Chains A and B, each alone.
Chain A
Amino acid sequence: MKITLLDYGAGNVTSVERALLRLGAEPQHSNSPEHLANADAIILPGVGHYSTFVRALDDQKLRAPLVDALHRGVPFLGICLGLQALFKSSEEAADLQGLNLLPGRVCALPSNVKLPHMGWNQLSVQRDSRLLAGIEPSSYFYFAHSFAVTDSGFVACASCTYGAEFAAVIEHKNIHAVQFHPEKSGEAGARVLSNFLRLAA
């Protein structure tokens, strides 16, 4: 199985790669549109600022091949900004267009809580989730973000609440995404990644 780890130069792809290697997968780092066209599965990690991220996708001509692959049904896992990129736009950079594959909006978390939302939090599971299969519902996951999707009810399998309720796990056909960092979330996080590898195989 060819797992393409989209490396557009802005995120810390290494830690995701290490976590996948620990699970016995052999991901291929790539920022080439050709690799996306041939990938059996795609993982899109992301940290940092939404604008840096979206601009990098465009500068490296990755937007069209990525959208094509998702429409073709290639199993996809987005992490953190990789989740936020699936929506139309983000309040973090309102002038930029996201991938617009799912309905919903990326909004700033309310300022009555400390931001970033940084640390380990639990999920509220709303419906059956392939990514969360076999994971204790009380498990903690590591989050590090200030923006989130607060109105994606019908695609969210699990939410988290910090200031506001937001989408923590999204599954829609071949599209999977998590707002937390599975590569930094201990054993529970490793299980999320292995669940994705299994469903993509």
Chain B
Amino acid sequence: MTLAHRIIPCLDTDGARVVKGVNFEGLRDAGDPVALAARYNAEGADELVVLDIAASRDRRPTFLQTIRRVAAELAIPLTAGGGIRSLDDARAVILAGADKVTVNTAAVARPDLISELSREFGAQAVVLAIDAKRGNDHWDVMVRGGRDSANRDALTWAKQGVELGAGEILLTSVDRDGTQLGFDTPLTAAISRAVSVPVIASGGAKLPEHFAQIFSEGAADAALAASIFHDNVQSIRELKRFLATQNIEVRLPC
């Protein structure tokens, strides 16, 4: 009886449609979030993340509608984020059907946002998303979709976020994101071993071996990926069967 390692597909959306592209450049349509959510729910995903990567104010009602439609398909937890700047933003997302919210740039600008959300919804509902990029002897926190440095050490920020009330960390390696070279094991291991909350590794996954490595050597509690699942490069069911053969605890779908 062990807590299973989670496999989490991520839907990056423009509010309404799933999109693909690096740093907002060359975005292309990758499908209907509702259809993908239903597929992942059936394939044995342990959780689903849906992000509004445009996060513009005028598209917020569209995104909330997407959350409602996605949530209606799921019998697994749903995390939503992108552009969450206030208690009201988070409440709207939770009322639309999300179980957890992610905060990123707005929490870097105003760390108290984390404690406000944690007091209101509980630590289990607050996911601190950190985009980290390797510097000389540390990892830098990046904001605004990974484009700008926040001039902050990722390890320090992760620990501070947990003290403020984050119940989980979604850690994306900006260096690995989109490369399909595998997760950033040193980054994930460093952060995961330094904090008392679960860490979701993100960025760079392609092969089943990448997942096995991030769980064993990277000490990740969960692993997230997007396009390899959307494009059927990797099936969640097959991935979990492979991990089970590597003696990694996973919840095998029926």
Contact between A145 and B254 (Cβ–Cβ < 8 Å)?
no
Please measure, in the bound complex, the distance between the C-alpha atom of A12 and the C-alpha atom of B76, giving whole angstroms: 14
Interface-lining segment among A28-36, A58-66, A171-179, A185-193:
A185-193
Contact between A121 and B76 (Cβ–Cβ < 8 Å)?
no
Question: A115-B196, A189-B75 in contact; A120/B123 too (CB < 8 A)?
Answer: no
B119 vs chain A, min Cβ distance (A): 7
Q: Is A134 an interface residue (CB 8 A)?
A: no
Q: Is B210 an interface residue (CB 8 A)?
A: no
Contact between B94 and A119 (Cβ–Cβ < 8 Å)?
no
Interface-lining segment among B2-10, B137-145, B181-189:
B2-10
Q: How many A residues face the partner with a CB closer than 8 A?
A: 38
Q: Is B90 an interface residue (CB 8 A)?
A: no
Residue B125 contacts which of A14, A47, A184 (CB distance < 8 angstroms)?
A47
Contact between B197 and A144 (Cβ–Cβ < 8 Å)?
no
Q: Which residue of A lies closest to B99 (CB)?
A: A12
Residue B75 contacts which of A14, A119, A124, A187 (CB distance < 8 angstroms)?
A187
Hey, which chain A residues are within 8 Å of B81, CB to CB? Answer: none
B198 vs chain A, min Cβ distance (A): 5
Which of B6, B74, B77, B97 has the most CB atoms of chain A within a 10 A radius of its CB? B77
Residue A119 contacts which of B121, B125, B196, B222 (CB distance < 8 angstroms)?
B222
**Chain A 115-134 residues near chain B, CB threshold 8 A:** 115-124
Hey, which chain B residues are within 8 Å of A114, CB to CB? Answer: 196-198, 221
Q: Is B161 an interface residue (CB 8 A)?
A: no
Please measure, in the bound complex, the distance between the C-alpha atom of A12 and the C-alpha atom of B198, giving whole angstroms: 22
Q: Which residue of A lies closest to B222 (CB)?
A: A119
B interface: dominant SS: loop
Hey, which chain B residues are within 8 Å of A116, CB to CB? Answer: 123-124, 167-168, 197-198
Q: Which residue of B lies closest to A163 (CB)?
A: B3
A198 vs chain B, min Cβ distance (A): 19
Contact between B254 and A184 (Cβ–Cβ < 8 Å)?
no
Contact between A119 and B99 (Cβ–Cβ < 8 Å)?
no
Q: Is A162 an interface residue (CB 8 A)?
A: yes
Contact between B4 and A14 (Cβ–Cβ < 8 Å)?
no
Q: Is A142 an interface residue (CB 8 A)?
A: yes
Hey, which chain A residues are within 8 Å of B103, CB to CB? Answer: none
Please measure, in the bound complex, the distance between the C-alpha atom of A182 and the C-alpha atom of B125, giving whole angstroms: 17
Q: Is A146 an interface residue (CB 8 A)?
A: yes
Q: Is B72 an interface residue (CB 8 A)?
A: yes
Question: A118-B167, A119-B198, A120-B6 in contact; A15/B222 too (CB < 8 A)?
Answer: no
Hey, which chain A residues are within 8 Å of B94, CB to CB? Answer: 12
Q: Which residue of B lies closest to A118 (CB)?
A: B198
Please measure, in the bound complex, the distance between the C-alpha atom of A50 and the C-alpha atom of B121, giving whole angstroms: 11
Hey, which chain B residues are within 8 Å of A185, CB to CB? Answer: 75-76
Q: Is A48 an interface residue (CB 8 A)?
A: yes
Contact between B77 and A161 (Cβ–Cβ < 8 Å)?
no
B138 vs chain A, min Cβ distance (A): 23
Q: Is A99 an interface residue (CB 8 A)?
A: no
Please measure, in the bound complex, the distance between the C-alpha atom of A22 and the C-alpha atom of B73, giving whole angstroms: 10
Q: Which residue of A lies closest to B72 (CB)?
A: A18
Hey, which chain B residues are within 8 Å of A161, CB to CB? Answer: 1
Please measure, in the bound complex, the distance between the C-alpha atom of A184 and the C-alpha atom of B240, giving whole angstroms: 19
Produce 1/0 per residue, B113-135, CB < 8 A to A: 00000011111110000000000
Residue A124 contacts which of B1, B122, B123, B124 (CB distance < 8 angstroms)?
B1
Further pairs besides A12-B99, A181-B77: 19, Cβ < 8 Å: A47-B122, A48-B120, A48-B121, A114-B196, A116-B168, A117-B3, A118-B167, A119-B221, A120-B251, A121-B3, A121-B4, A123-B1, A144-B99, A146-B123, A162-B3, A184-B74, A184-B77, A185-B75, A186-B76
Chain A contacts to B: CB under 8 angstroms: 12, 14-15, 18-19, 22, 47-49, 52, 111, 114-124, 140, 142, 144-146, 160-162, 181, 183-187, 189-190
Q: List 7 A-B contacts (CB under 8 A).
A: A14-B71, A15-B97, A22-B75, A111-B196, A119-B46, A124-B1, A183-B75
